[in-house]
Amino acid sequence: MIKYAQQYLRSAVAVIAQYDGVLPLSAFLKQYFKANPKFGSKDRKNISHLCYTFFRAGNGVNTSSVEEKIKASVFICETNADDWGLLVDEQWRNNWNADIEAKWRFVASVFPGSDPANLFPWNQELSSGIDAVPFAVSHLVQPDLFLRIRPERSRKVFEKLSAAKIPFRQVSGNCLALPNASKIDEVLNIDTEVVIQDLSSQRVGDVLKLCIDDSKLTKTVWDCCAASGGKSILAFDLIKNIQLTVSDVRASILRNLQDRFERAGIKNYHSFVADLAGELKVPPTSYRIVICDAPCSGSGTWGRTPEQLHFFTKDKIDSYSALQKKITTNVIPYIEENGYFLYITCSVFKKENEEIVSHLLESKKLELVRSELLKGYEEKADSMFVALFRRSNA
Ligand SMILES: C[S@@+](CC[C@H](N)C(=O)[O-])C[C@H]1O[C@@H](n2cnc3c(N)ncnc32)[C@H](O)[C@@H]1O
């Protein structure tokens, strides 16, 4: 068992008391430990672990004591008492190996009203097709790390992973799942050989493939909210004869994209900074495919950032939805006749998903080809939404 478990618990309570959710928890912890150099690397790891565990499970435990919430969260999230058993008394340790439902019943017997359904507080807002309880419970576990092997790189990647004895699971042809702490950047050339890309993001590629025909004609593609280019690299790998344009409201992220593209071997592309929610000063071109991986709540990715389960506020859903309506309305005129519009979010909220689809169909300029909720929560991955439209020639 972890010898200093009680000291780690006290430190975690102190961290949580100071954390206000403004920075991501990972960035806050980095700052905190820099300001408190007495903590060694083992201490940092264990205190961080307790904080993350609190944010994963704490909403389900009905007590106002942060300390009790941490202990109950560790009891729920850890499969056995080997590491953290010293935190609790014998009665808890005796129940530690029970199945997860029995563990929740035990927690509820100590803290009446505790319920895993409360882990995710915005069930009423969920897109249809999401099963509220399994989705809520999925936040108890950190999602896997997923890699997409780039074309022609498979043999080398498998050789390198085997030589380094890094365990992995092949989810499909080019998609690998690895434990989160895997040190892959010491072994693989990131962006050149593999892209770090969540399983659901990779599956967006299956929908993108519906836009691709066999013709040798150049395909113009505009990734209009490109960030550092995850979807652009995916499009580049899938579409032959691509002519790529990327934009984002943030110049800084496009500089990251530039570095990434260099590693990915993408040389000929056009890039510009644009606020697509404002008055558009975008070059008057039309594109065969416009990809809009919209700014969103990110609610499908909170298994990686569980602090959001405590700090997100419902009003933000409406602001994201309004922003998404503005951006999508503004970019529709840039789609060629019979061209495609690929709308993507990493959100599980209907106002950011189905409601945007309805809004776009009201314009009468687009027909829906396919929409799909990518339920990554069933596979230790992010959950996303994707809708493909075709621009009608009316
Ligand atoms: C979900 S991220 C895109 C992720 C990216 N496609 C990828 O796969 O890595 C959304 C991006 O939209 C950008 N964005 C936010 N508001 C915007 C606006 N008004 N106009 C253009 N881009 C915007 C953000 O800066 C952010 O980089």
Rounded percentage of the chain residues whose pLDDT exceeds 70 = 99
Q: What's the average model confidence in pLDDT over 24-51?
A: 97
The reply to whether ipTM tops 0.90 is: yes
Give me the helices (H) in the chain, please: 5-18, 25-35, 41-57, 66-77, 90-95, 100-110, 132-138, 154-163, 199-208, 230-238, 251-264, 308-311, 315-331, 354-362
Domains within the chain, CATH numbers bracketed = 5-119 (no CATH), 145-196 (no CATH), 199-391 (3.40.50.150)
Question: How much is the pLDDT for 394?
Answer: 60
- Mean pLDDT in the chain? 95
**Beta-carbon neighbour count of residue 259 at 10 Å?**
12
User: What mean pLDDT do residues 108-124 have?
Assistant: 96
CA of 248 to the centre of ligand 1 (A): 6
Residue range 168-175: mean pLDDT, rounded: 96
What's the CA angle centered on 195, arms 287 and 289, to 5 degrees? 10
- Whether the per-residue pLDDT at 319 is higher than 70: the answer is yes
- pLDDT tens for each residue of 327-373: 999 999 999 999 999 999 999 999 999 999 999 999 889 999 999 99
275 is annotated as contributing to ligand binding: yes
| 165-169, 277-281, 356-360, 381-385: least confident range | 277-281
* 346 catalytic residue (yes or no): yes
> In the 8-state DSSP scheme, what is residue 127?
P
What is the pLDDT averaged over residues 219-223? 96
The predicted pLDDT at position 209 comes to 95
> Is the CB–ligand 1 distance for residue 228 below 6 Å?
yes
Q: For residue 72, what are the CA distances in angstroms to 57, 205, 308?
A: 8, 40, 19
Distance (angstroms) between ligand 1 centre and the Cα of 84 equals 40
Residue 202 has a pLDDT of: 98
